[in-house]
């Protein structure tokens, strides 16, 4: 029997980091960022479109809201527990957070432009909370969550597909959607049966029938009737 995701075991939060340790961790991230800015030759925060902070042993990250135009952020292979440092980076399109120790993703809903989000190999347990945080991200197309405890929920993939219909690539598996569930392709037959059993709405595509439109030469030679052009309508379900 499928388990209710709300009944999944709660994450065991890591012990609070002592103040001095937290300050030291923030200083490490500040140094790493400044080094990257020097390498890229950036002199103004407004010129920063990407930051590569992978494999820096980062446990904390300073607030990144100063980088208003930041679009690409690599933070994979660190020791992060959360993402509270991202709240005003509204232009962020790609975020790589895989291979960390992240327990929750509270704050991601502040990133409306996010298109790619990698979260595999973390410590996410609460499936409901994770989906709730991602629901408002209408531009999200690529998402990875595998190798998280929440994947133990035996209808995990179907739950994500149902609640996040805009996602086209989940955990390296492609999905094609039209009107949410009009057209769905799965490798697993059980997934196909589940999604295709949902009620599908009709989708109509209308285009001009160019065969009924005379060419310039035909108009000149009057070889074709110049009546009104016809429209073609195709209905898909």
Segment 141-146 shows an average pLDDT of 95
* pLDDT averaged over every residue in the chain: 79
E-assigned strand segments in the chain:
50-52, 72-74, 94-96, 116-118, 142-144, 169-170, 173-174, 203-209, 230-236
**65 and 144, same domain (yes or no):** yes
Q: Give the CATH number for residue 128.
A: 3.80.10.10
**pLDDT per residue as tens digits for the range 154-179:** 889 999 999 999 999 999 776 554 44
Q: Domain residues for 224?
A: 203-236
**pLDDT per residue as tens digits for the range 195-229:** 544 444 445 555 555 566 666 666 666 655 556 65
**51 and 96, same domain (yes or no):** yes
Q: How many domains does the chain have?
A: 2
**pLDDT per residue as tens digits for the range 71-99:** 999 999 999 999 989 989 999 999 999 99
Q: What's the confidence (pLDDT) of residue 19?
A: 75
**192 and 209, same domain (yes or no):** no
**189 and 210, same domain (yes or no):** no
Do residues 29 and 62 touch, judged by C-beta distance below 8 A? yes
The whole-angstrom separation of Cα 182 and Cα 237 is 6
The whole-angstrom separation of Cα 13 and Cα 102 is 10
């Amino acid at each position: 029997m499928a388990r209710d995701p709300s009944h999944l075991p709660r994450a065991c939060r890591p012990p609070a980091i002592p103040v001095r340790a937290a300050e030291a961790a923030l200083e490490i991230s500040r140094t790493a960022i400044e080094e990257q800015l020097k390498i890229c030759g950036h002199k103004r925060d407004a010129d920063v479109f990407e930051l590569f902070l992978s494999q820096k042993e980062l446990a904390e990250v300073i607030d990144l809201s100063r980088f208003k135009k930041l679009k690409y952020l690599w933070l994979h292979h660190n020791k992060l527990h959360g993402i509270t440092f991202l709240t005003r980076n509204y232009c962020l399109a790609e975020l790589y957070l895989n291979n960390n120790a992240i327990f929750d993703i509270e704050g991601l809903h502040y990133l409306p432009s996010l298109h790619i989000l990698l979260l595999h190999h973390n410590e996410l347990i609460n499936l409901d909370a994770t989906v709730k945080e991602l629901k408002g991200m209408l531009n999200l197309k690529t998402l990875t969550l595998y190798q998280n405890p929440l994947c133990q929920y035996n209808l995990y993939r179907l739950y994500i597909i149902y609640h996040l219909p805009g996602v086209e690539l989940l955990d390296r598996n492609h999905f094609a959607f039209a009107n949410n569930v009009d057209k769905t392709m799965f490798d697993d037959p059980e997934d196909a049966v589940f999604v295709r059993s949902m009620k599908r709405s009709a989708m109509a595509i209308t285009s001009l029938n160019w065969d009924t439109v005379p060419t310039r030469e035909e108009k000149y030679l009057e070889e074709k009737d110049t009546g009104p052009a016809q429209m073609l309508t195709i209905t898909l379900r």
